[in-house]
Structure 1
Amino acid sequence: SPDGEFVASASGDETVKIWKLATMEEVGTLKGHSDYVNCVAWSPDGEFVASASSDKTVKIWRTKTMEEMGTLKGHSGWVFSVAWNHDGSLLASGSWDGTVRLWTPDGQEKGTLRGHSGYVSSVAFSPDGKTLASASSDKTVKIWDLSGGTPVEKGTLKGHSDTVGSVAWNHDGSLLASGSSDKTVRLWTPDGQ
């Protein structure tokens, strides 16, 4: 959680568990998915957890009450990754169907980003929320500009020789790290250097 008090874990048992870090005790189990849960992400204010599942959905949960707030449906394949933007107003999800989808927390789909030729394994918003990075089995990372009304593909980072499984920004958005099955981690500037 953003305050460092709790940990959320995703599992093949189709649940998300919330743990109190200080005592290592389970404080809640979030049940509702019908297949593996592949990824969880806390909202910036710690009020919600988003979970991405092989049941092709993303679910939003209120952490205080452990209740399901909604289900984001639209992907046609397993959902591998989910991320919140800096202020919790937008989520991104990456899927086996090769797309990234943008959502509001109340379930409105705000866009579908197409361009990868493989599945999307990881998504990450820049710290200011204006840029999104997506990693794929097509061996690339794509950079998407979200600053205007319509998301625009800004560039493709090429250099890995195998599936890119993870992407993460540094604290100020000046660098992006990508981790790949080619056994390397690469560092990039957002313009592809």
Structure 2
Amino acid sequence: TLEGYGSLVLSVAFSPDGQRVASGSHDNTIKIWDTASGSSTQTLEGHGGSVLSVAFSPDGQRVASGSSDRTIKIWDTASGSCTQTLEGHGDLVWSVAFSPDGQRVASGSHDNTIKIWDTASGSSTQTLEGHGSLVLSVAFSPDGQRVASGSHDNTIKIWDTASGSSTQTLEGHGGSVLSVAFSPDGQRVASGSDDRTIKIWDTASGSCTQTLEGHGGSVWSVAFSPDG
């Protein structure tokens, strides 16, 4: 049990080597925890609002954080310093994700858009528009060629990262889509919704193959196991 926050914890992520956990909190900070000892090794400060999402880079050397202050920050995990502040969203940032090569970050915002950022320059290379409401979750496919987004408009969209166009709109949820995740082979997407269900989608056809029922409330987060 990792303790030390004075307010609610909104997001957690493991480092690729499994030796650390990053957590984002309503107290505007990110903490890095050592999973062997359970102690907090760093507190990353600089956001002017709640930290709604955290993600480790594939090499584990950086953490991205999305905040209600409308920015994404990139942090160096060795020094604990903020190396970049990515600005451009018109409202709070609900979700952040690194691409598999670590060269891009995707962010989903309350402004109804997804932005793709170049982590070398810190500039926004694409703004993906098409959702009818806020974007609550984003995820890169394992090959980095697609992004999935879940929205308050009850849909999931699949985007081509080369063209920036939406290739599929997955419809069927009866409430906001709060979380999306690609399977390790990239052939499926899981979605968690305000309608209390998880759906599994085939990314080739765009059809829903399974609806997982049993929860008594909103499903805030979904994740695939490593073997899918």
TM range (shorter): over 0.9
Q: How far does residue 151 in structure 1 lie from its aligned partner after superposition?
A: 1.2
Partner of 2:187: 174
In 2, Cα distance between the equivalents of 1:141 and 1:90?
A: 21
Query: Is 1:53 aligned to residue 94 of structure 2?
Result: no
CA distance in 1, matches of 2:106, 2:152: 18
Does residue 80 in structure 1 map to residue 94 in structure 2? yes
Per-residue deviation, 1:108: 1.3
* CA distance, structure 1, for counterparts of residue 194 and residue 164 of structure 2: 28
Whether 1:127 and 2:108 are equivalent positions in the alignment is no
Match of 2:152 in 1: 137
**Structure-2 residue corresponding to 1:115:** 130
Deviation for aligned residue 1:105: 1.1
CA shift digits 1:47-95 (9 cap, x unpaired): 1000000000000000000000010000010100000111101110000
Query: What SS is found at the alignment partner of 1:88?
Result: coil
CA distance in 2, matches of 1:104, 1:20: 29
Q: Does 1:94 align with 2:108?
A: yes
Distance 1:137 1:27 in 2: 36
TM-score by length of 1: 0.98
User: What does residue 49 of structure 2 align with?
Assistant: 35
State the 4+ residue runs in structure 1 displaced beyond 4 angstroms: none
Offset at residue 2 of structure 1 (A): 0.3
Look up the SS of the partner of 1:101 in the other structure: strand
Unaligned residue ranges in structure 1 (runs of 5+) = none
The match for 2:81 among 47, 55, 67 is 67
1:189 is displaced (CA, Å) by: 1.1
Q: Which runs of 5+ in 2 are unaligned?
A: 1-14, 208-228
Question: For the residues of structure 2 that align with 1:78 and 1:8, how far apart are their CA atoms?
Answer: 20
Q: Output the amino acid matched with 2:92.
A: W
Aligned to 2:165: 152
The higher-RCO structure (CA 8 Å, 6+ apart) is: 1
Partner residue in 1 for 2:197: 184
Q: Deviations over 1:128-174 (max 9, x none)?
A: 0011000000000000012x3x2111010000000000000111101
Q: Which amino acid aligns with 1:165?
A: L
> If the length of structure 2 is used for normalisation, what is the TM-score?
0.83
CA distance in 1, matches of 2:119, 2:44: 17
Matched positions, count: 191
1:2 alignment partner, SS class: coil
